[in-house]
Chain A
């Protein structure tokens, strides 16, 4: 099983650690703040209080054996750079570093971070997209050129299959999943629904009212598609 280290227990770090622990992974957390370490010790495999910018201390807690290190000390730029370097020097195969601005992101990528994440920026973009149109539920930037959006199936699509709607020809985008709601009755006899996700749908798959389409495409094509929602 993959082992994760989360260094820095701010809101982002502790959320990542908690989510990974919940999924059953072994998680080591490190922070210099005693209280934060105590809180994290309740749900992680190992919680250690130490100064993560000290390479020797990190060596002692066995950080080099980790498969993935998440460096979540974004606010302290010099610490995030130093800790990322130490993790890479130790030979951790995957180092993911949190950045708060593009310059910090560039530096982290230059010194060897395998992935740089910008949680505030990404969440801000996703929130703005969903607020800009009530029909857009989520937005993920896959790369500079590609993005994925989750949209409520427009009325004009309902009752048609993907072949008839032909988004690939009209907009150059691909529907990678359709989320379909299945109505049911709960234990108390009240209406409820569950969601069924059809991954990689074919041209024969039909779009129903209330469906959500997960669409991948070039940013400019996705923008054009958003125009019809």
Chain B
């Protein structure tokens, strides 16, 4: 039976992909991580950063918005959201 990777491992893989400019792979891995840790503001924030890196601003906005909804004090997500929305 195939063993599911641990959340920490998925996050590490996603970060590695991101740092290698493989943004789409990073997003896929963060999506898997989200299944293990739903409503994790950090994962949403990181996904937002990857989407923003791909210039997919609509999707980035959804992720940053979600991160702020879950964690209203998340300043970084707020800043990126404001930058995209233009507020």
Interface size class, chain A: 10 to 19
How far, in Å, is B26 (CB) from chain A's closest CB? Answer: 8
B21–A191 touching, CB < 8 Å: no
Instruction: Produce 1/0 per residue, A210-227, CB < 8 A to B.
Output: 111000000000000000
Whether, in the assembled complex, A185 has its beta carbon less than 8 Å from a beta carbon of chain B, the answer is yes
Chain A residue at minimal CB-CB distance from B14:
A191
Whether, in the assembled complex, A203 has its beta carbon less than 8 Å from a beta carbon of chain B, the answer is no
Q: Which residues from A are CB-within-8-Å of B46?
A: 190-191
A210–B15 touching, CB < 8 Å: no
Q: Given A152-B55, A191-B15, A208 and B49 touching (CB < 8 A)?
A: no
Interface size class, chain B: 20 to 34
Q: Which residues from B are CB-within-8-Å of A185?
A: 15, 19
Contacting residue for A183 out of B24, B45, B53, B76, CB 8 A? B53
Chain B residue at minimal CB-CB distance from A184:
B19
Chain B residue at minimal CB-CB distance from A189:
B15
A191 to B46, CA, bound (A): 6
Contacting residue for B21 out of A134, A192, A208, A212, CB 8 A? A208
A186 to B45, CA, bound (A): 13
Q: Which residues from B are CB-within-8-Å of A152?
A: 55
**CB-based closest 3 A-B pairs:** A152-B55, A210-B54, A191-B18
